[in-house]
Amino acid sequence: MSDAVLSLRGIEKIYNRGRQNEIAVLKGADLALARGEIVALVAPSGAGKSTLLHIAGLLDTADAGEVAFGDTVMTGLGDRRRTIARRRDVGFVYQFHHLLPEFTALENVVLPQLADGVNRRDADARAQELLDHVGIGPRAGHRPSAMSGGEQQRVAFCRALANGPRILLADEPTGNLDPATSDQVFATLMGLVRDTGLSALIATHNLELAARMDRVVKLDQGLIVPG
Ligand SMILES: Nc1ncnc2c1ncn2[C@@H]1O[C@H](COP(=O)(O)OP(=O)(O)OP(=O)(O)O)[C@@H](O)[C@H]1O
């Protein structure tokens, strides 16, 4: 039995295996996220943060090692089960919001719920509740192009949380914002994660933001080490 919500054990990833440009990015990375824990992942550019987040979120597979959500080992499960787990258990946030431009803020938060079988009325209510929670309820009917960068990113947070995941994975979630906005939007994200009791792994270059999380880890030579 493990108390961890997310466990990465001995994760290895090699790109271009057997070719001249072979690159071993992860060489046995270990990390466990406790319930409600917010962990900062810091590393120089190219060290493998995105690769690790993609493997943790079942968007990519490792060459060796194991990913577990709670006590369930996800490694080796078929595509269907991985897709369902990814949709239900994991929320992703990226540096760029990747909202669908032709849909409103509300609709962007509704869509992942419809894909998970939630009815429209419940999905609308949950989306509005999340948007209210991050302070942009009145903008629910606006398309992303009519919103500021900070507002767009708040919508992206709501979309990531729409299906009630256990784990939030974020890749430079405020990296595209100016410093003042980044600070506010980061505080919003932290509040949202705390209020929902999620476990979060947040990659950032920003050491000030990293210091505000529960724990800092570094990716160093393909391994996770204390920050
Ligand atoms: N699909 C791929 N094929 C080959 N090499 C790749 C692939 N994806 C990433 N890499 C290489 O693996 C290394 C790690 O990439 P990754 O994107 O995980 O780093 P990162 O730490 O997230 O960087 P950044 O902070 O710049 O986003 C880099 O050298 C990158 O060029």
- Cβ–ligand 1 distance for 118 under 6 Å, the answer no
As a whole-number percent, the residues of the chain with pLDDT over 70 amount to 99
> What CATH fold (topology level) applies to the domain 4-226?
Rossmann fold (3.40.50)
Interval between CA 46 and ligand 1 midpoint (Å) = 5
What global pTM score does this model have?
0.94
Which residue lies with its CA nearest to atom 28 of ligand 1?
A: 46
pLDDT, residue 1, reads 54
Q: What is the CA radius of gyration of the chain?
A: 17
The residues near 195 (Cβ < 8 Å, ≥ 6 apart) are 133
Q: Give yes or no for residue 50 CB within 6 A of ligand 1.
A: yes
Q: Which region holds residue 172: left if phi is over 0, alpha if psi is between -120 and 50, else beta?
A: left
- Determine the Cα–Cα distance for residues 103 and 118; give it in Å rounded to an integer: 18
- For 179, residues 6+ apart whose C-beta sits below 8 A from its C-beta are none
Tell me the pLDDT tens digit for each residue of 80-127.
999 999 989 999 999 888 999 999 999 999 999 999 999 999 999 999
Using N-to-C axis directions, what is the helix angle for 149-161 and 120-133, rounded to 10°?
130
**Residue ranges in the chain whose pLDDT is less than 70:** 1-2
Q: Which two tokens stand for residue 97?
A: 């919001």
34 burial (CB, 10 Å; 0-12 / 13-18 / 19+) is: middle
Domain boundaries, the chain: 4-226
Strands of the 23-34 sheet, one edge to the other = 23-34, 4-15, 64-69, 72-73
User: What pLDDT does 159 receive?
Assistant: 97
Cα 32 to chain center, whole Å? Answer: 15
Write the DSSP assignment of 101-161 as a string of letters.
Answer: TTS-HHHHHHHHHHHTT--HHHHHHHHHHHHHHTT-GGGTTS-GGGS-HHHHHHHHHHHHH
Provide the percentage of residues in the chain whose pLDDT is more than 90.
85
Q: Whose CA is nearest to atom 24 of ligand 1?
A: 45
What is the value of ipTM here, to two decimals? 0.95
pLDDT digits (tens, 9 = 90+) for 166-177: 999 999 999 888
Owner of token pair 């992206």: 156
Give the ranges where the chain is alpha helix by DSSP (H): 49-56, 79-89, 105-115, 120-133, 149-161, 179-196, 207-211
Joined together, the tokens standing for residue 51 give: 């690769």
- Taking the CA of residue 52 as reference, the ligand 1 atom at the shortest distance is 18
